[in-house]
C-alpha cells in the first residue's frame, strides 16, 4: 500500500513558503491501520507532519509537491493500493527568489503556477487490479466535485471531507467523511476518531479488492 500524507511547502524565498495547515494525522492513521492488517506500507510524508508509531511503515520524507509526485510515482507501479491523503499545495511561485524578499512596499505580487496533479498522474498509470483512493477536502459542492474527480482521475473510491464540519479537517483528532464510489453508491459517516475513520477506509478498500478478485 502506498499512502501520501501531510502538507507540501513551496518556497517563495529562502525563509518563506506557501503551504497549508495539514498535520498528516489522517494519512498516518491510515498507514498504521493498513500496517496493523499486515500490509506492506510505504508512506510519503510531507513536512511538519506527525510521525507514525509503527516501525513497519516505510517512510519517505518530502517537502515540495514535485518531490511528493516523484516519490509516489517511484512506488506506484509496485503497489496494489494507493491512498492519496496528502494536502498537496495547488500552486507554487513560478520562480522562487534566491535571497530573502525585502519589505519595500505596501503590496507584493507573486506569480503562481499550478503544481502537478498527483492523483491524475497516477490515475493515468493505473493498471487492472490496482486501487486508487482520493481524499479531497471540499468546502462547497462537495459531492458533485468528488464525483467528477472519481471519473476524471480514474479513482476507485473517494473519501470526501469538509473542514467546515465541526471537529473535521486539519489539526483535529476526529473527522467526518463520506465514501463515494464509481457505481454512484456512497456511505456517510458521523464524526469519529481519525483512527476509526482509517479502519473504515481499510475495510472499504478490502471490499473493493475482494470484489475485483471475484470478477
Catalytic residue among 20, 128, 184, 215: 20
The DSSP secondary structure of 22-88, one letter per residue, reads --SHHHHHHHHHHHHTT---EEEE-TT----S-TTSEEEE--SHHHHHHHHHHHHTT-SEEEE--B-
Phi, psi of 152 (to 5 degrees): -70, -30
Q: Do 33 and 199 form a contact (C-beta atoms < 8 A)?
A: yes
54-to-28, 31, 168 alpha-carbon distances in Å: 10, 9, 24
Q: Known catalytic residue: 20?
A: yes
Residue 178's SS3 state is strand
- Match 467526518 to its residue by C-alpha cell: 176
Question: Which residue numbers are catalytic?
Answer: 20
Amino acid at each position: 500500500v502506498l499512502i501520501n500524507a501531510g502538507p507540501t511547502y513551496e518556497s517563495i524565498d529562502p525563509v518563506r513558503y506557501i503551504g497549508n495547515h495539514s498535520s498528516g494525522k489522517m494519512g498516518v492513521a491510515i498507514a498504521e491501520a493498513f500496517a496493523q492488517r499486515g500490509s506492506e506500507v510505504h508512506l510519503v510524508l510531507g513536512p511538519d507532519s506527525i510521525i507514525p508509531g509503527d516501525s513497519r511503515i516505510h517512510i519517505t520524507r518530502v517537502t515540495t509537491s514535485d518531490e511528493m509526485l516523484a516519490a509516489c510515482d517511484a512506488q506506484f507501479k509496485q503497489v496494489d493500493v494507493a491512498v492519496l491523503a496528502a494536502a498537496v499545495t495547488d500552486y507554487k511561485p513560478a520562480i522562487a527568489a534566491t535571497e530573502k524578499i525585502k519589505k519595500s512596499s505596501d503590496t507584493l505580487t507573486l506569480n503562481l503556477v499550478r503544481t502537478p496533479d498527483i492523483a491524475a498522474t497516477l490515475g493515468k498509470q493505473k493498471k487492472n487490479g490496482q486501487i486508487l483512493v482520493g481524499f479531497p477536502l471540499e468546502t462547497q459542492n462537495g459531492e458533485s466535485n468528488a464525483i467528477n474527480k472519481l471519473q476524471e482521475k480514474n479513482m476507485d473510491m473517494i473519501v470526501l471531507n469538509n473542514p467546515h464540519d465541526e471537529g473535521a479537517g486539519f489539526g483535529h483528532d476526529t473527522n467526518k467523511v463520506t465514501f463515494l464510489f464509481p457505481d454512484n453508491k456512497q456511505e456517510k459517516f458521523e464524526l469519529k476518531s481519525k483512527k476509526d475513520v482509517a479502519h473504515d477506509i481499510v475495510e472499504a478498500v478490502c471490499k473493493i479488492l475482494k470484489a475485483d478478485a471475484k470478477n
